[in-house]
Amino acid sequence: MIINLLTKTIMNAELYEEIETYEFIIAHLKNDTFGKKCQQVARDHLLHLNTKL
């Protein structure tokens, strides 16, 4: 049972790190063509991750 709890905790931490990474990309990339594409991909991934929560 403790191992399952630890596994879930680690998975949640990884999930939140991903969310923070995507939020950083959205907030800090330049608004050129490449930056906008990266921001859109990050938004799509955030939307997908939020549906998992």
For the chain, state the CA radius of gyration.
14
CA 12/CA 38 separation, integer angstroms: 24
Apex 45 CA angle, 43 and 51, nearest 5:
105
Domain that holds residue 17: 1-51
The pLDDT of residue 52:
65
The pLDDT of residue 32:
86
Structurally, the chain folds into a number of domains equal to 1
Give the HSE-up count for residue 1: Cα atoms under 13 Å, Cβ half-sphere.
0
Cite the DSSP H helix spans in 1-53.
Answer: 2-28, 33-52
CA 27/CA 15 separation, integer angstroms: 18
Higher pLDDT, residue 52 or 27: 27
pLDDT in tens, 2-42: 667 666 766 776 778 888 888 888 888 888 888 888 889 88
